[in-house]
Amino acid sequence: MRELNLLLRQQSGGNLYVEENSCREVDPDSVTPAAELDSDTSDNYETLKLELVNVQLEEAEALEQHRIVCLVLRNNYALLEVVLEHIMSHLECVIIEIKSSSRLAHFLNLYCVQERCLDEETSSLLKKLNQINNVSSLEALKTQLICTINNRDHIKILNEQFEEKYNNFRLALKNFKIILEILNVHNDSLSKLKKQFKEILMDYQHCRCILEREYPFAIAEKAKVLLDCLTSLGESYKYFKDESGILGNVFRNVARNIQENEYILVKKENLLSAQCSTANS
């Protein structure tokens, strides 16, 4: 609608001019000043001016309340996002550690078998390490976190829409006030402009309400994900808590067995001597 475009267009060198069926820019000398309008139209202008002043004051107060409310909600939302991101980082490290420990246990076992330094205790410990390498529950939790973290665009989009609607409202209010101050607009066109301004105002108010309503839902959704993560991690860590201790015992046992197995050390020393002799010759 052309009247709507008029209210939402940026001012340039010329002034805005409205006729019943057209919108164009003209030089200010070619329009009739608002002060020369007939009495009925003049009354409409004055009424609209008062209405715009009231709207401006009411919306300024509403915006201030909106910012106070959303500041708290935005901080809560941001803190939840940070916590979830750090859980994600921690989870990735834990998964890598468990898989790495499992692979290390496998190759240590191969080495000990090859060098005949695998005692019963070490064998039992290595089996335990292989039994706790199932990270499917942690992988599932990681997938859930990825989806949650990547789904943050909902609130971001609402914030962007709110800023757009707010800027539209400010521009429409500014242009409407200019029109009422300096331009001659017939009653029909004035009614159309008033209707369009109301639509812009309602869009802005509606977007503001949606943002205030959706923030608590988004926070609750992320809090639920946090609860699920902590519960799942608490259960999973029952199975993984002994891994570091077991691995430490494996290291000590294998080191002791290698040290006690003179065959291994002698074999390695002889190999080094042979290599040195070959190099000297």
Q: pLDDT grade, residue 2 (50/70/90)?
A: very low
Helix or strand run (H / E) with residue 25: strand 22-26
Q: What local confidence, expressed as pLDDT, does residue 37 receive?
A: 42
Helix (H, G, I), strand (E, B) or coil at 151: coil
Q: pLDDT grade, residue 19 (50/70/90)?
A: very low
Tell me the C-alpha distance between 224 and 228, whole Å.
6
pLDDT, tens digit (0-9, with 9 covering 90-100), for 182-208: 777 677 778 888 888 999 999 999 999
Q: pLDDT grade, residue 212 (50/70/90)?
A: very high
The percentage of residues in the chain with a pLDDT greater than 90, rounded to a whole number, is: 22
Neighbours of 66 (CB within 10 A): 17
Q: What local confidence, expressed as pLDDT, does residue 209 receive?
A: 94
Read off the pLDDT of each residue in 97-126 and give the average, rounded to a whole number: 84
Q: Any alpha helices (H) in the chain, and if so which ranges?
A: 2-7, 39-114, 120-131, 136-150, 153-182, 187-240, 243-260, 262-280
DSSP state, 109? H
Q: What local confidence, expressed as pLDDT, does residue 82 receive?
A: 92
pLDDT, tens digit (0-9, with 9 covering 90-100), for 35-81: 444 445 566 777 888 888 999 999 999 999 999 989 999 999 999 98
DSSP state, 34? G
Facing residues of 280 across strands?
none
Neighbours of 185 (CB within 10 A): 25
Q: Range with the lowest mean pLDDT among 10-24, 52-66, 88-102, 151-165?
A: 10-24
CA-only gyration radius of the chain, Å:
37
Q: What local confidence, expressed as pLDDT, does residue 108 receive?
A: 85
Q: How many CA atoms lie within 13 A of 21 on its CB side?
A: 0
Q: Is the pLDDT of residue 21 over 70?
A: no
Scan for tokens 């000043």, then name that residue: 33
Tell me the C-alpha distance between 257 and 201, whole Å.
81
Q: What local confidence, expressed as pLDDT, does residue 17 receive?
A: 43
Q: Range with the lowest mean pLDDT among 69-83, 121-135, 229-243, 267-281?
A: 267-281
pLDDT, tens digit (0-9, with 9 covering 90-100), for 128-186: 777 766 788 888 888 888 888 776 678 888 999 999 999 999 999 998 888 888 777 67
Q: What local confidence, expressed as pLDDT, does residue 31 receive?
A: 41
pTM: 0.64
Domains, the chain, in order of start with CATH, read 2-280 (1.20.1270.60)
| Cβ-based neighbours of 247, under 8 Å, separated by 6 or more | 101, 104, 105, 129
